[in-house]
Amino acid sequence: MTTMIRTKATVSFFVLAIAISGSGSGCARKSENTITLAGSTAFQPFAEKLAEQYLETHTDVRVNVQGGGSAVGVQAALAGSAQIGMADLLTLPEEAKTLTPTVVARDGIALVVHPKNALAELSATQARSVFTGEINNWKDLGGADAPIRIISREEGSGTRRSFQELVLGDSKLSPNALFQNSNGTIREAVASNPDAIGYLSIGLVNDRVKSISYAGVVASNENVKNGTYPLARPIFLLTKGEQSPMVREFIDFVMADASQRVLEKEGLIPAK
């Protein structure tokens, strides 16, 4: 059979519709040698990388990697529309208690601004005030007289939920925030607007944006590892019921030392 990996991100509502449609006829149509992963867009590019390597030695298997957000990952695993859900959350929701979680990596969250922005750091209080809209002009942080444009992930995103818990607490995100459906689009939105600020996975920061320190600590994987940088969360692969041999083999592949080194090289923190 032709080897294939599907790496095109699926629109969130489409994946969710599949997930909640149930496991009946959809599952009956699944090929016995197809593994479908759905959920976290933060982990999606890393899952795609590992899937490509997995297929080098498993030429009779198809691996279908879809995005949609962590909420989609949980629902897809529960409904059976994906054998593996992907979620990047501090804590899994109540409905995920029937799923088997495997922590495959950890991921830090960086606050990012345009490279031309002179801002170097925000305290925890300042960060909360900026993202709630209490501070809404860069001049209040020592910058230019320009409105702060907040770029955020949408509801259902694991990165959004983790950011809410870690940075905002009980406070609400500014109603003026602009929403993006992936870490990649957050990065591009900030890169294209000198007045923007957003947040995304440390592993996806590149030279198109500038990460700033949070509470006096540089956003780096090393600081996440040593416990000094507080904005971090685990990444879960979620399965329902007894894992098939093929799914078990794929998860074992992800957890193997070689794959964990790949994740580290690509910008994540290995689970072990």
**Rounded to whole angstroms, what are the CA distances from 90 to 1, 166, 218, 246?**
39, 9, 20, 28
Per-residue pLDDT band at 31 (split at 50, 70, 90): low
Q: Are 115 and 208 in contact (CB under 8 A)?
A: yes
pTM: 0.81
Residue 38 is inside which H or E element, if any? strand 34-39
Q: Residue 18 above 80 pLDDT?
A: no
Per-residue pLDDT band at 263 (split at 50, 70, 90): very high
Summarize pLDDT for 247-256 with one digit per residue, the tens. 999 999 999 9
Would you list the domain boundaries of the chain?
4-107+233-270, 108-225
Q: Residue 12 above 50 pLDDT?
A: no
Mean pLDDT calculated for residue range 11-24 = 40
3-state secondary structure 141-202: HCCCCCECEEEEECCCCHHHHHHHHHHHCCCCCCCCCEEECCHHHHHHHHHCCCCEEEEEEH
CATH code of 108-225, in short, is 3.40.190.10
pLDDT at residue 28, rounded to an integer: 39
Summarize pLDDT for 78-114 with one digit per residue, the tens. 999 999 999 999 999 999 999 999 999 999 999 999 9
Summarize pLDDT for 220-249 with one digit per residue, the tens. 999 999 999 999 999 999 999 999 999 999
Maximum pairwise Cα distance, the chain = 61
Q: Residue 46 above 60 pLDDT?
A: yes
Q: Residue 159 above 70 pLDDT?
A: yes
Rounded Cα gap, residues 133 and 173, in angstroms:
7
Summarize pLDDT for 179-224 with one digit per residue, the tens. 999 999 999 999 999 999 999 999 899 999 999 999 999 999 999 9
> How high does pLDDT run on average in the chain?
90
Rounded Cα gap, residues 250 and 84, in angstroms:
10
Q: Residue 24 above 60 pLDDT?
A: no
pLDDT at residue 66, rounded to an integer: 95
Nearby residues of 219 by Cβ (< 8 Å), 6 or more positions away:
108, 109, 110, 111, 202, 205, 211, 212, 213, 229, 231
pLDDT at residue 32, rounded to an integer: 74
Cα Rg of the chain, angstroms? 19
- Other Cβ atoms less than 10 A from the Cβ of 131: the count is 26
Of the candidate CATH numbers 3.40.720.10, 3.40.190.10, 2.40.40.20, 3.20.190.10, the domain formed by 4-107+233-270 belongs to 3.40.190.10
Please indicate whether the domains covering 4-107+233-270 and 108-225 agree at the CATH topology level: yes
Q: Are 148 and 194 in contact (CB under 8 A)?
A: no
Summarize pLDDT for 129-151 with one digit per residue, the tens. 999 999 999 999 999 999 999 99
